[in-house]
Structure 1
Amino acid sequence: MSVADMLMRRMTVGDLQTLFSIECADDARAVTITDLACTSNEIKPGCLYIPPAAERDEEHLRDAVTSGCYAILLPQVWRGRASTDDLGIPVLFSDEIDKKLGLIAAHLYGEPSQQLAIFVVYGMRCHSVARKLSDILHMLGNPVGTVVEGSSLSLSRELEVPYPLNAVHLQQQMQIMVEDGATAAVIAADEATLAPWALVGTAIDVVSGQDTVTQLYGATFSEETHVAAASERQITQVLVQSDGANVRDEAARQAVSMALAAGITPDSISQAAWVSQELN
């Protein structure tokens, strides 16, 4: 049995009703869901299909049944429409589906973000910052995954990712990282990488741009979440100690700030940054 299989939780339609206020018929509660599909191309036997707006028609719904999905989740406004009748599988309804998908996915995939140190990077240079921060974490001996538009990695393995990632896709990628042995993940928070509400259900350890990340991507924070807020003097000191590091490199400065927020010592960051400079 793979790590992914061990992480996956058994979820029934009844669980969706109880935990996430998804409406369903009483006789559908025992149906078990084994995966989630957000497009027709992702449908696998046993999955819950959550069709995008472009696929909410009778043809796509019936094709989904033929492809083996066990249930379909639609917005409340679809209740009573003829195209949902006689499909032969449960049709579920809910308001604000986008805001619930991350919670559903996190539950089904075994809360993968709880098993990773999650760094969320927001800002104009978030792609560069995410890569530099990943390098620092890697040089410190942490197996790390990176979610950045165009170059997402689980350790050194390139991930096939549909950009921008929605909450389901992000949870799936984090599950892959856990299966590969990662202990940390760095996520670039911009519209090219993440869809709205993509961070719902993700436990975040270190963040930059806290308020914006909440507003755009539905992130929530706990008392354990750290906000990158190192002083300019601290950051400069770390980079000065890293021979060859550019103290004016804003992406490097933000990466250092996030590493400091995670509790990594300045000396360790300096050494990691120096090694990264040498290798690059």
Structure 2
Amino acid sequence: MSAVTEAVSQRMTLGDLVTDHGFDLVPSYAGDVTITALADDVASVTPGAMYVPCQQVSLADINEACENGAYSALLPLAMKPQLVKHGKSLVDMPLMFADITRAQLARIASTMAGNPSDALAVFALTGPDAALLEHEVSEVARFLHMLGNPVGVINANDSQLLERFLDLSYPVDVLSMQRAIAVCAEDGAAALIVTMNDDTLQEDALQSVAVDVIACDGIPEPDRAQEFMEITAEKYGCAISKQTRFVLRTEESDTLALQSGVEPALVRPLSFAIAIGLAVGVRKNSIRSALRVTREFH
């Protein structure tokens, strides 16, 4: 169950969706109706929402969404013949019809939330070893915090925002991702760490998320690691641009981690965190200061 209801900063009309996405609106004169939220199941519908089940559902579900306050429903094209007779909807609210893709849904959700990922530095961490990745996500979050960045984390085992729990259902879908990012941005996070694996994310969950860094550990060969990151990014809808940084541990980050004096088990995840910091332009003096705090913390 998912919805984009919190931190919505931009209202959207049904006419906007017709213009921008070519959706079929019934009745056509309902273009001025404004929606204030998206919900992909009946239980998440709030007054002003558009119900977007993305699959065929029963007329009873659609009517229940209407009773819960939905202003519209976006339904598969195959449902139009059973819901529209002689040009009129059988439901007491405007209906839209389209075979919507997750990429389209993500763009709509991101637009409604004010493109929240643009306000954060987003780090997508991945790798073939789930246990190692889990450890490294925690260390990267701690290290970024030591560098003075309020951090949010989306991870199947422990999602947090500024040290408070984020209540999410896993794997996270497109709508839940946009809602979580919007909440992080509104609450003052400067950075967001996302674990990019099947436990945490549904396919395409990162559509319309501006990811600044994709980092990988656990594959020693740089070419294979690069290929792994690109394939993983494509799976979860993470667009790669000229600004996207791909990060691996380096000899420099390993050396700095070893010099920090932390216990041996922490050297590798700390090196990974340092490599990410260096990749985004953090100065070595700042990193060394953070390492001193990290050593005292551990």
Q: CA RMSD in A?
A: 2.2
How big is each residue's C-alpha offset from its partner over 1:216-249, in whole Å with a ceiling of 9 and x where there is no partner? Answer: 1111133222111453x11211202211153775
The answer as to whether partners of 2:54 and 2:100 remain within 8 angstroms in 1 is no
User: Where in structure 2 are there 5+ consecutive unaligned residues?
Assistant: 1-5, 216-227
Deviation at 1:73, TM superposition (A): 1.3
Partner of residue 122 from structure 1, selected from 114, 122, 126: 126
1:263 equivalent in alignment to 2:281? yes
- Partner residue of 2:152? 145
Deviation at 1:57, TM superposition (A): 1.4
- Partner residue of 2:224? none
The whole-number CA distance in structure 2 between the counterparts of 1:205 and 1:15 is 29
- Partner residue of 1:222? 241
> 1:120/1:59 Cα in 2 relative to 1: closer, same or farther (>3 Å)?
same
Which piece of structure 1 moves more, 157-166 or 213-222? 213-222
1:212 equivalent in alignment to 2:231? yes
Deviation at 1:277, TM superposition (A): 4.0
- Partner residue of 1:68? 69
The answer as to whether partners of 2:75 and 2:97 remain within 8 angstroms in 1 is yes
The whole-number CA distance in structure 1 between the counterparts of 2:180 and 2:117 is 10
The whole-number CA distance in structure 1 between the counterparts of 2:286 and 2:180 is 28
> 1:93/1:138 Cα in 2 relative to 1: closer, same or farther (>3 Å)?
same
The structure with more radius of gyration: 2
Deviation at 1:272, TM superposition (A): 2.3
The answer as to whether partners of 2:103 and 2:208 remain within 8 angstroms in 1 is no
Deviation at 1:265, TM superposition (A): 2.7
**Secondary structure, counterpart of 1:29 in structure 2:** helix
Q: Which amino acid aligns with 1:202?
A: V
Q: Which amino acid aligns with 1:129?
A: E
Deviation at 1:178, TM superposition (A): 1.2
The whole-number CA distance in structure 2 between the counterparts of 1:271 and 1:91 is 57
**Secondary structure, counterpart of 2:50 in structure 1:** strand
- Partner residue of 1:276? 294
Counterparts in 2 of 1:1-280, with a 5 A limit?
8-25=9-26, 26-51=28-53, 53=55, 56-82=57-83, 85-123=89-127, 124=129, 125-208=132-215, 209-231=228-250, 233-246=251-264, 249-280=267-298
User: Where in structure 1 are there 5+ consecutive unaligned residues?
Assistant: none
**Secondary structure, counterpart of 2:186 in structure 1:** helix
How big is each residue's C-alpha offset from its partner over 1:51-79, in whole Å with a ceiling of 9 and x where there is no partner? Answer: 254x7112211110100011111222323
**Secondary structure, counterpart of 2:158 in structure 1:** coil
How big is each residue's C-alpha offset from its partner over 1:10-53, in whole Å with a ceiling of 9 and x where there is no partner? Answer: 10111112223333232121110101112222110001111254
The whole-number CA distance in structure 2 between the counterparts of 1:32 and 1:275 is 50
**Secondary structure, counterpart of 1:120 in structure 2:** strand
- How many residues end up aligned between the 2 structures? 274
Q: TM-score, normalized by length of structure 1? A: 0.89
Deviation at 1:274, TM superposition (A): 4.2
> 1:23/1:277 Cα in 2 relative to 1: closer, same or farther (>3 Å)?
farther
Q: Which amino acid aligns with 1:102?
A: A
Q: TM-score, normalized by length of structure 2? A: 0.84
The whole-number CA distance in structure 1 between the counterparts of 2:183 and 2:212 is 19
The answer as to whether partners of 2:254 and 2:268 remain within 8 angstroms in 1 is no
Give % identity: 29
**Secondary structure, counterpart of 1:73 in structure 2:** strand
